[in-house]
């Protein structure tokens, strides 16, 4: 068996009395799409934030590509090949769509202590940014202000910014959050396009999307992993049905 891209052991994080991540174990194999599902407040965002470095775990270890990154700063993790998207859309509304992605490309291209040359005339940045926009189908909106975009388009841009850093592992926090059926379908298409090319850890609420995309599913309830396995096994798992799927089915 090949070494997993991401390997999480004993991860624990609590806020005051609430244990948001409780002894979580997780492994993501190369080029797999691994879904994390669970009801609201299960600790999915908290998990992603610890993986991205925005939160420091109380206990446990995070290994990425064989390296212990538990205490590595978020921006360094990005350079190591870890990218995340946010559940709450975090694009720069005062910039154009292309500028948003260009900013992500730039973040990935070494340091930014370059004070003189305008970015907009820098093909090293603009070309890859434009290529990334094409990947998510936003190339026609390149020069529109991000504030003019629909919610669905902003979610696409959110993904584009993560992709622009050429990550080895994509952490996607509810990419379909707040989307209508049509917009969701577009997003599923985009993610299907990435499947098999990128390793992904996908947090999602939308069950159809999860079962359409995931190779592996982990179920999180009250910060704890209650089940993990192939989608069809999870679907038929009694504990999962009771704890989580029951109220959706």
Ligand X SMILES: Nc1ncnc2c1ncn2[C@@H]1O[C@H](COP(=O)(O)OP(=O)(O)O)[C@@H](O)[C@H]1O
Binding site for ligand X (CB under 6 A): 15, 18, 20, 38, 40-46
Q: Which does 67 bind (CB under 5 to 8 A by kind): other proteins, Mg ion, ligand X, none?
A: none
Distance CA 23, CA 102 (A): 38
Q: Is 70 in the site for other proteins (CB under 8 A)?
A: no
Chosen residue from 21, 33, 45, 199 binding Mg ion by CB under 5 A:
45
Give the number of residues in contact with other proteins, rule: CB under 8 A: 49
Smallest separation (angstroms) from ligand X to the CB of 20? 3
Q: Is 126 in the site for other proteins (CB under 8 A)?
A: yes
Smallest separation (angstroms) from ligand X to the CB of 42? 4
Distance CA 240, CA 246 (A): 8
Degrees (nearest 5) of the Cα angle 57, 207, 15? 20
Chosen residue from 2, 66, 116, 197 binding other proteins by CB under 8 A:
116
Of 173, 174, 177, which is closest to residue 152 (Cα–Cα)? Answer: 177
Residue placing its CB nearer to other proteins in the complex, 30 or 107: 107
Residue placing its CB nearer to other proteins in the complex, 44 or 244: 44
CA torsion sign for 144, 95, 92, 120 is positive
Q: Which does 75 bind (CB under 5 to 8 A by kind): Mg ion, ligand X, other proteins, none?
A: other proteins
Residue placing its CB nearer to ligand X in the complex, 22 or 153: 22
- List, edge to edge, every strand of the sheet that includes 59-64: 18-28, 6-15, 59-64, 67-68
Distance CA 50, CA 52 (A): 5
Of 222, 223, 153, 221, which is closest to residue 234 (Cα–Cα)? Answer: 221
User: CB under 8 Å to 203, separation ≥6 — which residues?
Assistant: 35, 36, 37, 44, 45, 47, 48, 87, 171, 172, 173, 174
Chosen residue from 26, 62, 102, 214 binding other proteins by CB under 8 A:
102
Going by the DSSP 8-state scheme, the letter that residue 178 receives in this structure is T
Which residues make up the interface to other proteins (CB under 8 A)?
Answer: 16, 52-54, 73-75, 78-79, 83-84, 86, 90-96, 98-99, 102-104, 106-108, 112-123, 125-127, 130, 142-143, 161-162, 164-165
Which residues make up the interface to Mg ion (CB under 5 A)?
Answer: 45, 87
């Amino acid at each position: 068996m090949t070494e997993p891209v991401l390997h999480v052991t004993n991860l624990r994080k609590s806020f005051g009395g609430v244990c948001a991540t409780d002894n979580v174990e997780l492994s993501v194999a190369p080029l797999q799409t691994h879904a994390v599902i669970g009801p609201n407040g299960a600790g999915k965002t908290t998990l992603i934030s610890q993986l991205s470095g925005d939160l420091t775990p109380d206990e446990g270890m995070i290994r990425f590509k064989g390296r212990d990154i538990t205490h590595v700063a978020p921006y360094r993790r990005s350079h190591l090949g870890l990218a995340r998207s946010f559940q709450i859309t975090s694009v720069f509304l005062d910039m154009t769509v292309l500028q948003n992605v260009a900013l992500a490309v730039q973040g990935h291209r070494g340091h930014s202590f370059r004070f003189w040359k305008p970015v907009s005339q820098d093909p090293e940045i603009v070309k890859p940014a434009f290529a990334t926009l094409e990947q998510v189908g936003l190339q026609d909106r390149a020069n529109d202000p991000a504030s003019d975009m629909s919610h669905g388009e902003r979610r696409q841009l959110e993904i584009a910014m993560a992709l622009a850093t050429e990550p080895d592992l994509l952490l996607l926090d509810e990419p379909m959050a707040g989307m209508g059926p049509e917009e969701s379908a577009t997003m599923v298409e985009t993610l299907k396009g990435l499947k098999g090319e990128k390793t992904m850890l996908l947090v999602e609420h939308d069950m159809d999307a999860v079962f359409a995309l995931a190779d592996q599913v982990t179920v999180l309830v009250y910060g704890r992993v209650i089940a993990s396995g192939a989608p069809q096994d999870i679907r038929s798992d009694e504990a999962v049905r009771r704890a989580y799927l029951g109220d959706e089915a």
